[in-house]
Structure 1
Amino acid sequence: MGLLSLGTPLKWSEAKEFADHVRSHGIDQFLSIYHKMKDKQKDCLLWGDEVEYIVVSYDEQNKNAKISLRVFEMLAILQKDEQDWLKDPEHVPAPATSWRPEYGRFMLEGTPGSPYGSSLRDLLLVEPNMKLRRELALKTMRPNEVPLTIVSYPRLGCQGEFLDPHHEPNGDACRSLFVPDEIINPHARFPTLTANIRRRRGSKVAINMPIFKDRNTPSPFIDPTIPWDRDIFPEDKEAKEGAAKPDHIYMDAMAFGMGCCCLQITFQACNVTEARRLYDQLVPVGPIMLALTGAAPIYRGYLSDVDCRWNVIASSVDDRTPEERALKPLEHDRFVINKSRYDSVDSYISTGPLFKPKYNDIDLVYDKKIYDKLRSNDIDDQLAKHVSHLFIRDPLVIFKELLDQDDSVSSDHFENIQSTNWQTLRFKPPPPNSNIGWRVEFRSMEIQITDFENTAFAIFIVLLTRAIISFNLNFYIPISKVDENMQNAHKRGAVLNEKFYFRKNVFTKQKPSSRQPSPSTSTSTSNADINGASNGNTPDDDEDQDAYELMTINEIINGKSGGFIGLIPLINSYLNSVNVDIETRCQLSKYLDLISRRADGSLMTAATWMRQFVQNHPAYKHDSVVSQEINYDLMKTIEKISSGELEIPELLGKQ
């Protein structure tokens, strides 16, 4: 999460009057940035990761694992060193760390203090830096508190005490039946964002995740813990009127989604062309990595029938009106919009030779007026449609003091809308007046329990981008198939039980990029070299060049005999083609082995392990309920795993 603006936020009734103003000036700001920076070049790749933590507070006397709302006390300590470094950037210590708040007052976001470079040796800095972040966070906490890298707190919104300190759920911002406003980041942006989503939508958000049906789970499952007859706010009646679906876990607030943690990787590309190319090639990878990192099977104290967080967050910020959701004819709104503003990518954006219009095969909704303005200012069709699609959304939080800006030096209005389109990939222009280049943010992965796992997945994505650039790989499939993959990725046990569309032939007859990913690792590898490692995967003519098929995660990651080479073999071919010392290669192999074994099922995903932990717990009654006792033991066990005190071979293998 970036730096937060200060000022007076407008309620939706006031903010909507300035929506067109923000959109118009946001486009002017984008045009200013684009034309100033379109020729900007960088010599090498820079990248960084974002790790998010949930702070758990143990009540040992009552055997209860709560979530702590003291994060801002911790941040004050953690950010002090960072502020000192900013005064003297030439002497930032290595490794350094950087800390930011998140949506939840129980969440921390930690990043490396400066980006990692292009050297393969830099990859070995990642795990020590993640370990340092965890150690520094822990030092700011009380003896009964611990930072855990878990996607979602399993009993968020349960009856009884799950917060430290306790607050009743009767706040005016979210008006939730289950969680209080005190759970929200106190910065004015966040309560306003929460309330304005509800006000714009015309109702509370409605999140329904399918319940996991165990042998003693009632059928139909009607949640007895929902306060059906509460009468504090007008929205309280929504649960009874159909917002809460039978056989589903019902949640009604932004905190259930934006209170989830993830692992995000941001890359700085050589230039805008390369950034757009990497964005496109990573779009089909997003759902695969969502399934492979699945780590969120429990919501509001119940086992769900999904393994991932994505649809929970999508529903938690879905501000679309009934008209925009096609529940009513369009009368007051401009568009029918088929997705939440937090969802998968809707279009490819590269104009490179590998792209073909047929890949953008869904009906993209975009603002024609904005599109025409972009096109008349020399923005190509692909990028103009991407930006004008983002700008069908309204700005949700507008600060009165920031309405009038100098569009030649500010990007606040552009970022207001850009940053509240939360997709699996984000294409990020350079900030004004900075030395930062064109970037791509990979956003689909779930946070993992240990620093080793998070390092492995971060490094896997980084190495995959280098293989894409080095071998000119082509992962394009139709966007509609990416959407299908996203839904399959959520399903329980998707890694082993589902199949996903993926391109059969990822090689191209065109020459590889003349610029290798790292100046220090130049290579003479050609397409012939990599094709020779592909088991005859490359056709001799153009027939079947664009074919894709349903594959298992194992086949996509590890490859299959006589078929797709696999992403890890591609990465290994890249590593074979560059100068890498033995120590680095051995350590990288350990990380890649974790990914490979998660894909082939010899190691469990975190979601599968958590589900089995609950089902095997002596207090579990096979009724889908994750009780306070079970949750306490689960959090304690996760703490021991993350600290290295407890080894779980079926999750991590032998370390």
Structure 2
Amino acid sequence: MIEGTPGKPYGHLPSHFNLVEANMRLRRQQGQDLLDKDEYVISTSTFPRNGCPKFTFPTYAPKPGVSASSSLFFPDEAIYPDHPRFRTLTRNIRERRKAKVVINVPIFVDKNTPRPFREDLSVYGDDNGTSEAASVEDCIYLDAMGLGMGCSCLQVTFQAQSIDEARFLYDQLTPLTPIMLAISAACPVWRGYLADVDCRWNILCAATDDRTAEERGFEPLKNDRFLIPKSRYSPIDCYISPESAKFNDIDVVQDMDVFQELTSNGIDHLLAQHIAHLFIRDTLVLFEEKLDLDDEKDTEHFENINSTNWQSMRFKPPPLNSNIGWRVEFRPTELQMTDFENAALVTFVVLLTRAIMTYNLNLLIPISNVDKNMQFAQQRDAIRHQKFHFRKSLSTGQTPETPSMAFVKKPLFDNTEGESEDRLMTVNEIINGSDQFVGLLNIVQDYLNNIEIDADTRCTVNQYLNLISKRAAGTLLTNAAWMRQFVENHPKYKHNSVVTDEITYDLLWKMHKISAGEEDCQLVLPRMASKTSLDIPRAVERADNELETKRSLLISSTHSNNNNTNETSGES
């Protein structure tokens, strides 16, 4: 698995949206250039036979009794060897938990799948019966961090103008996390078996679950401090903006010593609660040379905790002595097989954040319903068959009274006193709208109609939004649905839930051809010819920068008149 990031952040201009796909393509090619002629970079969320016999090249045998993970399926040699962090993470999660991680993925029951489905795990090695006891009937059993964290995803980091804007974005994007998980679903095969789920999320949660039996509630608290309901990889537990407080409807476990220290030093209770919640987890990896640091000058210890709370959103304070501002990371989206799809998902999320801020919209729903939505999103073909809790009306008292925003203020399931502010909707309703709900795409299109954007960028963005619209409507398949269909239609598939080496080879080769533009896949992708480029035309950049300078002067003037001088500025 390779993590690829842009060499520098994208800018604030609309035309920067036209760079994203080209930059992704460049990074993939840079990876490809390092490989031999018969090796290929495949953009996919999970390798379908990860954990199967001989799934690596060269082949290594797992050593359950002595390896870092003690896995029946995942050899230590598959863990990146050139930095101690990765093997140490694997070992420390197992040792802190005092047991191997346990992952049971529901199997897809086809017409020839044995019932009940139960593997003979003894053929994989001897772990003193641990796996046999932990595995569940009609499930695919996994037992290693690398079988979850060996997945790939599509994460987006935004830089905000101030801490307040970062907190606002963190909260407003949270209800979108399960919706984007469902739209991007790309993981229907695990350890060579078709699963009855389409996403990686719960597998990741289980693969990194270092909670002890006491912390999981299986034994009374005696040696540990907290009963912790979720893994350290999980959906977030609380909103962090003051306006969002009423939607925090689940108990938040927190280190009260940390909470008291923060509040006594002027941090409001919601942000203090978020930080104190992070500190219920232990540090997983700490290098000897990093033990004794001056916390007045170095934030390494905080970053260590923050970066190993792998949640659906991440709030990222600026590093000390840096020009990096307040950031928010959107983390649930699954990786797609083409750069076009990945760019489309990124672009949609970023455009939606700009529309939310421009129109002062409100997407908040109770956190408990976000948790429910995360479970709905992972179900097989959730886009077509599931409904999600979503806010009925997005307008607020600050939403502008303009003709272009009239559609946001239409009835939208008018609330009455005491009535819930959200209701169950399909992904199609949420994205494309209905007679009763505006639809997020309509808001984004309205935003685009009211900004200056060059023709090439608008052409590219329209194609991205067309993909999002058709996938939400179910007229284009998710990657997971297409992969499932490919397996089921393969001539060597025996309708027994088994995805063989040969089927996997043919699937990945097909994905490579599609991603390289050598074959069409109209079940997944519309006919596309985006005008993405690695460069912004000089004339466009000059005109946009002139416009941005005028806006900055206006904003500076406004802030001066309002005595609003304490915001931390930063690039978008």
TM-score (norm 1): 0.78
CA separation of 1:138/1:540 partners in 2, compared to 1, >3 Å: closer, same or farther?
Answer: closer
Equivalent residue for 2:55?
A: 162
3-state DSSP of counterpart to 1:121: helix
CA separation of 1:139/1:191 partners in 2, compared to 1, >3 Å: closer, same or farther?
Answer: same
3-state DSSP of counterpart to 1:198: helix
3-state DSSP of counterpart to 1:426: strand
**CA contact under 8 A between 2:140 and 2:191: conserved in structure 1?**
yes
Equivalent residue for 1:423?
A: 311
What are the Cα deviations for residues 457-503 of structure 1, in whole angstroms up to 9, with x where unaligned?
Answer: 00001100000110011011000000000001110010110000000
Question: Structure 2 counterpart of 1:375, which letter?
Answer: T
* 1:549 is the counterpart of 2:423: yes
* 1:313 is the counterpart of 2:204: yes
* 1:652 is the counterpart of 2:545: no
The CA deviation at 1:436 is 0.1
Equivalent residue for 1:237?
A: 129
**CA contact under 8 A between 1:326 and 1:336: conserved in structure 2?**
yes
CA distance in 1: counterparts of 2:124 and 2:502, whole angstroms: 28
CA distance in 2: counterparts of 1:570 and 1:647, whole angstroms: 31
Aligned 1:354-433 pairs, distance under 5 A: 354-355=243-244, 357-433=245-321
Question: Structure 1 counterpart of 2:273, which letter?
Answer: K
Question: Structure 1 counterpart of 2:8, which letter?
Answer: S
Q: 1:214 aligns with which of 93, 110, 124?
A: 110
Q: Which runs of 5+ in 2 are unaligned?
A: 529-572
Equivalent residue for 2:514?
A: 641
Q: Which runs of 5+ in 1 are unaligned?
A: 1-106, 513-525
Q: 1:472 aligns with which of 355, 360, 370?
A: 360
Q: Name the Cα RMSD after superposition.
A: 1.5
Equivalent residue for 1:13?
A: none
Equivalent residue for 1:43?
A: none
The CA deviation at 1:137 is 1.1
**CA contact under 8 A between 1:537 and 1:565: conserved in structure 2?**
no
**CA contact under 8 A between 1:559 and 1:565: conserved in structure 2?**
yes
Question: Structure 2 counterpart of 1:274, which letter?
Answer: E
CA distance in 2: counterparts of 1:286 and 1:537, whole angstroms: 25
CA separation of 1:541/1:139 partners in 2, compared to 1, >3 Å: closer, same or farther?
Answer: closer
**CA contact under 8 A between 1:264 and 1:444: conserved in structure 2?**
yes
What are the Cα deviations for residues 325-355 of structure 1, in whole angstroms up to 9, with x where unaligned?
Answer: 100111111111100000001000012xx42
* 1:619 is the counterpart of 2:492: yes
The CA deviation at 1:236 is 4.3
* 1:177 is the counterpart of 2:50: no
3-state DSSP of counterpart to 1:147: coil
Aligned 1:154-553 pairs, distance under 5 A: 154-159=48-53, 161-170=54-63, 172-186=67-81, 187-224=83-120, 226-227=121-122, 230-231=125-126, 235-241=127-133, 243-351=134-242, 354-355=243-244, 357-510=245-398, 526-534=400-408, 536-537=410-411, 547-553=421-427
Aligned 1:564-603 pairs, distance under 5 A: 564-603=437-476
CA separation of 1:543/1:282 partners in 2, compared to 1, >3 Å: closer, same or farther?
Answer: same
Question: Structure 1 counterpart of 2:510, which letter?
Answer: T
What are the Cα deviations for residues 224-249 of structure 1, in whole angstroms up to 9, with x where unaligned?
Answer: 4x236833xxx4421122x1111000
3-state DSSP of counterpart to 1:110: coil
Aligned 1:558-569 pairs, distance under 5 A: 558-561=432-435, 563-569=436-442
Question: Structure 1 counterpart of 2:27, which letter?
Answer: R
3-state DSSP of counterpart to 1:263: coil
What are the Cα deviations for residues 385-444 of structure 1, in whole angstroms up to 9, with x where unaligned?
Answer: 000001000111121221110112211110111111000100000011110000000000
CA distance in 2: counterparts of 1:185 and 1:412, whole angstroms: 23
The CA deviation at 1:530 is 4.5
What are the Cα deviations for residues 574-617 of structure 1, in whole angstroms up to 9, with x where unaligned?
Answer: 11111223332222110000000000001000000000000000
The CA deviation at 1:165 is 1.3
**CA contact under 8 A between 2:392 and 2:413: conserved in structure 1?**
no
* Residue identity (%): 53
**CA contact under 8 A between 2:386 and 2:426: conserved in structure 1?**
yes
The CA deviation at 1:546 is 6.2
**CA contact under 8 A between 2:415 and 2:421: conserved in structure 1?**
no
CA separation of 1:577/1:543 partners in 2, compared to 1, >3 Å: closer, same or farther?
Answer: farther
**CA contact under 8 A between 1:269 and 1:439: conserved in structure 2?**
yes
The CA deviation at 1:534 is 3.1
CA distance in 2: counterparts of 1:119 and 1:400, whole angstroms: 43
**CA contact under 8 A between 1:150 and 1:447: conserved in structure 2?**
yes
CA distance in 1: counterparts of 2:119 and 2:408, whole angstroms: 52
How many residues are paired up? 525
**CA contact under 8 A between 2:73 and 2:124: conserved in structure 1?**
no
